[in-house]
Chains A and B, each alone.
Chain A
Amino acid sequence: MNLEIKNLNIDNYNINLTIYENEKIGIFSRKQEITSKLLEVVSGINKNNQTAFINGSNIFDNKEYFSNRLFFDFKRNYLTTLRVNKIEQALKDYNLELDKENFVNICKDLNIRGETDITYKYEFTPVGNSFVNLALLCSLNKKNIIVNNPLINLNLKSDFDYFTAKLTSTIFQSAILGIDRLDCFRGKLNRVVFFSDFNECISINNNDTLIVFDNDIDKYYLIKNKLFKGRKIISLNNTTKEDLKLWQRQKVNYEIISLYDIEKYLGEL
């Protein structure tokens, strides 16, 4: 399923994007609400003003599209129990089948019970809520997922690795992820879509690099394809060898980085 977005306006951004089948892509913005708005449009939850289509059909409230995708925001509570029979029963209202064995195994792997207060009801800690959301998402046997805040509330590296491995694994045909920690997804995504500080929406491939300058560089040099300006200026690495030689001669401070390292240089918004 190739999802086509043409001239979608979100805040000051004009978005043109094609999301191909079998792609794992990340959406990154310094303003979380922009990522949320895009994901809500891409999942068909909110109106897109005739700008988002799949196989020629508008995806907004599209029954066929809905039946082939799942949207999760890991900030929200979806479950209030760990009893698989009850969950299975409740999911029948949504025409969803629960892979009970998979759900139980992921709960054990993550030790969800350690993050749950079991009284007359189940109360998950924020970490436990993320755990249980992942367990549910991975147990619903849907091939296409859209997830916002996938790593929210997590602190341990082992949890980051587990989550990113699951979300980008082959159990999902395509995944659109609203990235909250970009470095944790190193090498696991096909592309990352950035909402720059300059009102542009730019798609960057996994292996592309970026270039980081001191933040006053644009007073002296014309820097093309800027993405972010904060503590440093970060731009696409479209420089030629001649440009690099010139900068070296003129002792310009620059650093070529992977796109997954961008957060180290962003600073405060």
Chain B
Amino acid sequence: MKNNANEFFEKPIVKLISIIILTLLLILISLILFEDLNLDSSMLIYNIFGTITLVGFLYSFHTTNKKLYIDVSLGICRKDFYKKYLKNTLFILFITLFFITYYIFLYRLIIANNKLIFEEFKIERFVYLSTIFLCLSFLGFLFGILKMKSGIFYPLVFVIVALIVLSLIYLTILYLLSILFGIVSICLGVLNYYIIKNINL
């Protein structure tokens, strides 16, 4: 009986669902706890995006830098490898947007007393950050395939993060930038597919 329970909780899908439920609970608790502190309503959203962007950049880099060669050695062909990577990346974005929607909904319910969403949250920033996430993930993927040295890659991560933070503080034409980064991420996605089909590992 104990073994069956252990086996059940070891399944990846069970772990994933548990983490999602835990995250939803933590968002709820953070809203209740910080209700009185009058913090910036978007603070948690920036934290979520910041985390997934950084993780996505690093994950993508390591996926191609180290994992790709082992995957093809053990029987995964390049197309399947790229499809799986794309699915994972888009899934991360989808889950993030789900958490953010849930947070906005709860915020309206608990704190904002049903004020309009656009009065509290700058939606153009979330669109901008979503395109940044995709762009950086695909860029990390590209750097990994090109075997960029870690000594160059990690300082670059800090520079890019700093630039994104500064852009959020000082730039206002974010819809235009979102479209630009959206196009860049599509181009990077296509470029990555072409490179991974043809490059010698």
> A residues within 8 Å of B by Cβ?
40, 43-47, 61-63, 66-67, 69-73, 76, 78, 89, 94-96
Contact = CB atoms under 8 A, between A and B. Distances in A.
A63 B73 CA distance: 12
B79 interface: yes
A46 B75 contact: no
B43 to A, nearest CB: 34
B79 A70 contact: no
Given A76-B70, A78-B70, A96 B201 contact: no
Given A46-B200, A47-B198, A63 B74 contact: no
A46 B201 contact: yes
Interface residues of B, number: 17
A43 B73 contact: yes
A61 B201 CA distance: 12
Contacts, number: 45
Interface of B: 10, 69-80, 197-198, 200-201
Contacts of A96: 74-75
A66 B72 CA distance: 8
A71 B79 contact: no
Given A61-B197, A70-B75, A96-B74, 20 more contacts: A40-B201, A44-B72, A45-B69, A45-B72, A45-B73, A45-B201, A46-B200, A46-B201, A47-B198, A61-B72, A61-B77, A61-B78, A63-B77, A63-B80, A66-B75, A70-B74, A71-B72, A71-B74, A72-B73, A73-B73
Contacts of A76: 69-70
A65 to B, nearest CB: 9
B109 to A, nearest CB: 40
